[in-house]
Structure 1
Amino acid sequence: MSSKFRGKYLQIIPLGIAHLKFDNSGNHYTWRKVSTTVHNMIVGKLWLDNHGEMEIINHKTGDKCCLKFIPYSYFSRETPKKVTGYVVDNEGTFKWFITGMWDEKIEACRVTSQSMRGGKPTYETGPPKVLWKRNTVNPEAERYYNFTELACQLNEPEENVAPTDSRNRPDQRLMEEGNWEEANLEKLRLEEKQRATRRKREADAELAANEGREYPAYSPTWFRKLTDEATGALIFRYTHEYWDCKERQDWSRCPDIF
Structure 2
Amino acid sequence: MVVACHCEGRGWRFWGESDLKSKFWGRSIQLDPVGTLTLEFDDGEIFQWSKVLGGVQDINGKTVASLFGKWDDSMHYKINGDSRNANGSEPHLLWKRSKPSKHLTRYNLTRFAITLNELTPELKEKLSSTDSRLRPDQRCLENGEYTKANEEKLRLEQRQRQARKMQERGWKPRWFVKEKGGETYSYIGGYWEAKERGNWESCPDIFGQVSTDQNFD
TM-score above 0.5, yes or no: yes
Q: CA deviation at 1:164?
A: 1.0
What is the CA–CA distance in structure 1 between the aligned matches of 2:86 and 2:153, rounded to whole Å? 58
- The residue that corresponds to 2:177 in the other structure is 224
- The residue that corresponds to 2:204 in the other structure is 255
Pick aligned residue for 2:134 from 168, 176, 197 = 168
- Structure 1 stretches lacking a partner, 5+ long: 35-53, 55-66, 68-85, 115-122, 206-216
- The residue that corresponds to 2:5 in the other structure is none
1:158-187: CA deviation from partner (whole Å, max 9, x where unpaired): 322111111111111111111111000001
What is the CA–CA distance in structure 1 between the aligned matches of 2:86 and 2:128, rounded to whole Å? 55
1:18-51: CA deviation from partner (whole Å, max 9, x where unpaired): 1111223x221222223xxxxxxxxxxxxxxxxx
Q: Give 3-state SS (helix, strand or coil) of 1:250's partner.
A: coil
Pick aligned residue for 2:34 from 15, 25, 28 = 15
Q: Give 3-state SS (helix, strand or coil) of 1:113's partner.
A: coil
CA distance 1:174–1:144, shift in 2 (3 Å): closer
Q: Give 3-state SS (helix, strand or coil) of 1:234's partner.
A: coil
Compute the TM-score of the two structures, normalised by the length of structure 1: 0.59
1:56-89: CA deviation from partner (whole Å, max 9, x where unpaired): xxxxxxxxxxx2xxxxxxxxxxxxxxxxxx5443
- The residue that corresponds to 1:95 in the other structure is 64
CA contact (8 A) 2:69 2:75 kept: yes
Does residue 133 of structure 1 match 2:98? no
Does residue 151 of structure 1 match 2:113? yes
What is the CA–CA distance in structure 2 between the aligned matches of 1:156 and 1:128, rounded to whole Å? 39
Q: 1:235-250 to 2 correspondence within 5 Å?
A: 235-250=184-199
Calculate the aligned-residue CA RMSD, in Å.
Answer: 3.0
What is the CA–CA distance in structure 1 between the aligned matches of 2:156 and 2:112, rounded to whole Å? 27
1:213-249: CA deviation from partner (whole Å, max 9, x where unpaired): xxxx21111112225xxxx843222222111111111
Larger radius of gyration: 1
Does residue 177 of structure 1 match 2:177? no
What is the CA–CA distance in structure 2 between the aligned matches of 1:174 and 1:145, rounded to whole Å? 14
CA contact (8 A) 2:21 2:34 kept: no
Fraction of identical pairs, as percent: 36
Residue identity opposite 1:31 in structure 2 = W
> Structure 1 stretch 4-13 or stretch 104-113: which is displaced more?
4-13
What is the CA–CA distance in structure 2 between the aligned matches of 1:152 and 1:17, rounded to whole Å? 28
Does residue 195 of structure 1 match 2:171? no
Q: Count residues with an aligned counterpart.
A: 182
Residue identity opposite 2:36 in structure 1 = I
CA distance 1:93–1:2, shift in 2 (3 Å): closer
CA distance 1:3–1:191, shift in 2 (3 Å): farther
CA distance 1:5–1:193, shift in 2 (3 Å): farther
What is the CA–CA distance in structure 2 between the aligned matches of 1:245 and 1:139, rounded to whole Å? 37
Compute the TM-score of the two structures, normalised by the length of structure 2: 0.69
What is the CA–CA distance in structure 2 between the aligned matches of 1:129 and 1:189, rounded to whole Å? 49
Normalized per residue, the structure richer in strand is 1
Question: Structure with the greater relative contact order (CA < 8 A, sep ≥ 6): 1 or 2?
Answer: 2
